[in-house]
Amino acid sequence: MDNYLLVISSGLQTTIQDLGRKEFRSYGVPISGAMDKYSAILANKLLNNEEGLPVMEMVIIGPKIMFEDNTSIVITGADMSPKLNGKPIESNLVYEVKISDVLSFGKLIFGSRTYLGVKEGFNTEKKLNSYSYYKGITKKSIIEKGDRLKIGYHPSEFDFTSSRIKVKKHHFNTNALEVTKGPEFSRLSKKQREFLFSKIFEIDSLNNRMGYQLKNEFIKIDKNEIITSSVIPGTVQLTSSGKLIILMRDCPTTGGYPRILQLTDISINQLAQKKTGDKFKFKLEGSFSFLSRLVKSLKD
Amino acid sequence: MENYKLKYKPFGSISVLIEWPQKIDIEIIKDINQFRTALQYNMNGLILDTVPAYNSLTVFFDTSKIKYKSAVNRIKEIYNIKNKEPISNAKIWKIPVCYDDEFGIDLEEISITKKITKQEIIRIHSDIIYDLYFIGFLPGFLYLGGLSEKIQINRKPIPRKKINKGSVGIAGNQTGIYPRASPAGWNIIGNSPINIFDVETNPPCFASSGDKIQFIPIDKKKHFEIKEEVKNGNYLIQSKTYG
């Protein structure tokens, strides 16, 4: 049995995302997936879904949605003043919704990306083992007004117990992003390294799922191109015009600019919650202490 | 073949970047592909993906099954014991290309700049069997090596806003096919009616790193016919094995 929800208005850049395509990079296919994986996984966990099920990702301005069938929902990530039938609801708390209930969003309070999880996940088109929207891979690359999206079946007698989770504000407002050294870090002079770890960087208006450009002018390096090589989400490129670009989930598989830093997985999620004009510093961390901490965080 | 001195650099939390000497060299590409094949065979199940480029191989592994340090140690061991023989199942793919003026919108200009006839440009471009170095940048974008110096030309000063899917272009020492309509700075000399990248097939691209590509000139009539066959799902891309 197919259940649906109807998109009444689309919001700014609303898409369906899961944890991405991991096995097709050698064919030039980007990983994609939720920009803030932490919040996407949290939405699924709160619903007792498998953590990798597709969720709806929205940016700055949320959509308006009418449910055509009963289900359970949860909102995670940025606070966009969510409302159910006009009444404010809380983030990180599961709500039962009934046929013709309307979910809407208002003012952005903090963060940049909000996730809507539904019981059993979204059941939209799956291409190359993933539901993540990407132009040229999935037929749809963005959610539009009038779209009817298939969602998982949710029996009405389903009994639910879910606890309220409080997400640390730090996830949204940290002003230090942890990084490791990138493959071309050694090309930087002492002066450039000092600049990199002392300056406050500001996010340019050129920021989207593919990457975040930074406003600051960086000290140019002599050898400013590399032989085309692999790039991954979180790679910080130094372009020949002296700009820094932090690649995000939809980035190409290869690039030709020096890769001077690499954001940790946690920092990518934190950056995904930042927007134009937000400021932060880079904080260097040894890759191995980071890895051991990652392993620990997965065990917790 | 001698083993190269490789550099292993941690790259993100689930991958290692392996680097060969910094130059574009077909021998390096062959070594990368042998290593890649050996890794896929010997670390099956532990590796999520291996991504080759001109002089690097990025290996993504499943950190729930193998720790970073042991993965890298295992990878290093495999490089030392890998088969030195060339990969025998590599293929030469025959890609039909129509070089008619309707598609080869920059042929005239290249002919004037390089002082060679259009027929000669087409002959030179389709005579060479190109090495498929790797697929990167965008889904199905093939990085090909081997373009003749005689037809090497700078990219266009002002990129076109949109060129058709299947456009065959040249720029510097590179030639390639645009897998889908996109902005393009390359000089367009023809069009291929086939799908280079098809999301409905697995794998989504028929060719892979280490294969070879040959362009077969076709006329407009044949271009139309093949396009129809592709649309109806009954066109088979011709290939033969080599090595």
Domain end among A101, A136, A151 = A151
Q: What pLDDT does B158 receive? A: 84
Q: Which domain holds residue A288?
A: 174-299
Are residue A142 and residue A274 in the same domain, yes or no? no
Q: What pLDDT does A289 receive? A: 54
Q: How does pLDDT run across A56-98, given as a tens digit for each residue?
A: 999 999 999 999 999 999 999 999 999 999 999 999 999 999 9
**Could you tell me if residue A15 is inside a domain?**
yes
Q: How does pLDDT run across B128-182, given as a tens digit for each residue?
A: 999 999 999 889 999 999 999 999 998 888 889 899 999 999 998 889 999 999 8
Q: What pLDDT does A215 receive? A: 95
CB contacts of B13 in chain A (<8 Å) are 264-265, 290-291, 294
Q: CA–CA separation, A47 vs A71, rounded Å? A: 11
Are residue A126 and residue A180 in the same domain, yes or no? no
**Could you tell me if residue A163 is inside a domain?**
no
Q: What pLDDT does A300 receive? A: 44
Compare all CA atoms of chain B with the CA of A266 and give the residue at the minimum distance.
Answer: B13
Higher-pLDDT residue of B199, A294:
B199
Question: B91-95, B99-103, B134-138: which has the minimum mean pLDDT?
Answer: B134-138
CATH class of B7-81: alpha beta
- Mean confidence (pLDDT) of chain B: 92
Are residue A48 and residue A145 in the same domain, yes or no? yes
Are residue A88 and residue A202 in the same domain, yes or no? no
**Could you tell me if residue A157 is inside a domain?**
no
Are residue A221 and residue A261 in the same domain, yes or no? yes
| Numbered ranges of CATH 2.40.100.10 in chain B | 91-241
CB contacts of A38 in chain B (<8 Å) are none
**Could you tell me if residue A56 is inside a domain?**
yes
Q: How does pLDDT run across B24-60, given as a tens digit for each residue?
A: 888 999 999 999 999 988 998 999 999 999 999 999 9
Percent above pLDDT 70 for chain B: 96
Compare all CA atoms of chain B with the CA of A268 and give the residue at the minimum distance.
Answer: B12
- Among candidates B9, B50, B53 on the partner chain, residue whose Cβ is nearest the Cβ of A228: B53
DSSP B35-73: HHHHHHHHSTTTEEEEEE-SSEEEEEE-TTTS-HHHHHH
| Numbered ranges of CATH 3.30.1360.40 in chain B | 7-81
CA max distance for chain B: 60
Are residue A178 and residue A277 in the same domain, yes or no? yes
Q: What pLDDT does B90 receive? A: 85
| Residue recorded with tokens 């030179």 | B124
Q: What pLDDT does A177 receive? A: 96
Mutating which of A254, A268, A292 best tests the B interface, going by the most B Cβ atoms within 10 A?
Answer: A254
CB contacts of A126 in chain B (<8 Å) are none
| Interface size, chain A vs chain B, as Cβ–Cβ contacts under 8 Å | 115
The domain tally of chain A equals: 2
Are residue A294 and residue A186 in the same domain, yes or no? yes
Q: CA–CA separation, A228 vs A89, rounded Å? A: 48
**Residue A186 touches chain B, beta carbons under 8 Å:** no
**Could you tell me if residue A165 is inside a domain?**
no
**Could you tell me if residue A169 is inside a domain?**
no
Nearest by Cα to A18 from A28, A44, A30, A27: A44
Percent above pLDDT 90 for chain B: 73
- B147 Cα distance to chain centroid: 13
Chunked in runs of 10, what are the mean pLDDT values of chain A (300 residues)? 94 97 94 98 96 97 97 97 97 95 98 97 96 96 97 72 78 95 93 94 96 90 82 94 94 93 96 98 73 54
Q: What pLDDT does A247 receive? A: 97
Residue contact B53–A180, C-beta within 8 A: no
DSSP B76-107: HHHHHHS--SPPTT-EEEEEEEE--TTT-TTH
CATH class of B91-241: mainly beta
Q: What pLDDT does B185 receive? A: 87
The whole-angstrom distance between B168's CA and the closest CA on chain A is 18
Are residue A145 and residue A179 in the same domain, yes or no? no
Task: Calculate the CA dihedral of residues A94, A95, A101, A106 and round it to 10 degrees.
Answer: -60
Residue contact A127–B134, C-beta within 8 A: no
Q: What pLDDT does A160 receive? A: 60
